[in-house]
């Protein structure tokens, strides 16, 4: 179970999150949508404390954190939370000097202290899972954007996280490469992986989400099933955002 209560985050005088409340169950997929600047990426980054909230609380499994202004989170607590989460960024963030397999092994060896042989075996299993068995020895510059993002997904999974976090996982990809990444994420959803996904792909959101939250201006405008949020909302601002999207996106 993940639970967030009263979450606030500001950058200087700019208030980005204005009291977010949400919860989700293990094995479910939460998708976050909304216009640019709505706070959705900041909220996602608060899940694993890449951004430290100014106020509120966050619970992930047995970890319970309370945030107040200027309170420092102990490094041990930060690491404990981050070991429960795997993050997949827009821009892959692979180590350019490592092969695909090396990238997937790195966190296992340095963070989880697995042996290189054990990390290699797990890495090969995960590369196979994302359809890249034949690319284990390829370097990032030898891979397409879609292949790099699939390596990034395998790397995030390698540390056996309780939840996977995706920040616009297809936004940096050419349109023809989007499908191969979304296919992997849908497969993980079907297997019961707990995921929080920020995306602008509305068809994908409708297909994969157990629940969608629609954010604007630092607050949650709507939350519910894909049908409730994408088809049945009566909130004027939510309708304005959704109506800006082409009919093909819904």
Q: What pLDDT, in 10s, does the model give residues 107-149? A: 999 988 899 999 999 999 999 999 999 999 999 999 999 999 9
How big is the CA angle at 37 (ends 35 and 40), to the nearest 5 degrees? Answer: 75
* Percent of the chain's residues with pLDDT above 70: 98
Backbone φ/ψ region at 64: left (φ over 0), alpha (ψ -120 to 50), beta: beta
Give me the pLDDT at residue 176, please: 84
Burial class (CB in 10 A: 0-12, 13-18, 19+), 21: middle
Give me the pLDDT at residue 195, please: 97
Backbone angles phi, psi at 85, to 5 degrees: -125, 145
What crossing angle do the helices spanning 175-190 and 145-157 adopt, rounded to 10°?
A: 20
Asked whether residue 220 carries a pLDDT value surpassing 70, the answer given is: yes
pTM for the predicted model, two decimal places: 0.92
Asked whether residue 248 carries a pLDDT value surpassing 70, the answer given is: no
Contact in structure between 169 and 185 (CB atoms under 8 Å): yes
What contacts 165, CB < 8 A, 6 or more positions away?
44, 47, 48, 85, 86, 87, 88, 195, 196, 197
Give me the pLDDT at residue 250, please: 44
Burial class (CB in 10 A: 0-12, 13-18, 19+), 172: middle
Residue 249's pLDDT band (cuts 50, 70, 90): very low
Residues 2, 195: Cα–Cα separation, whole Å: 11
Residue 32's pLDDT band (cuts 50, 70, 90): very high
- pLDDT tens figures, 3-19: 999 999 999 999 999 99
Dihedral of alpha carbons 82, 88, 92, 95, sign: positive
């Amino acid at each position: 179970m993940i639970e967030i209560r009263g979450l606030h985050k500001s950058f200087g005088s700019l208030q980005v999150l204005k009291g977010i409340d949400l919860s989700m169950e293990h094995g479910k997929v939460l998708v976050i949508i909304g216009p640019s600047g709505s706070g959705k990426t900041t909220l996602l980054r608060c899940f694993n404390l890449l951004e430290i909230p100014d106020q509120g609380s966050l619970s992930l499994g047995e970890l319970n954190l309370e945030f107040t202004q200027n309170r420092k989170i102990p490094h041990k607590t930060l690491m404990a939370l981050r070991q429960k989460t795997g993050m997949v960024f827009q821009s892959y963030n692979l180590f350019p000097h490592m092969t695909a397999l090396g990238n997937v092994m790195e966190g296992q060896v340095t963070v989880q202290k697995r042996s290189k042989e054990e990390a290699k075996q797990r890495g090969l299993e995960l590369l196979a899972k994302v359809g890249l068995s034949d690319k284990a020895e390829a370097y990032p510059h030898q891979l397409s954007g879609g292949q790099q993002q699939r390596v990034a997904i395998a790397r995030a999974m390698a540390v056996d996280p309780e939840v996977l976090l995706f920040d616009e996982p297809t936004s940096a990809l050419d349109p023809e490469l989007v499908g191969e990444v979304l296919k992997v994420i849908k497969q993980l959803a079907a297997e019961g992986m707990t995921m929080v996904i920020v995306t602008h792909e509305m068809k994908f959101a409708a297909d994969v989400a157990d629940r969608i939250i629609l954010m604007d201006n630092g607050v949650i405008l709507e939350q519910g099933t894909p049908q409730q949020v994408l088809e049945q909302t009566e909130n004027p601002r939510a309708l304005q955002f959704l109506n800006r999207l082409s009919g093909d996106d819904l």
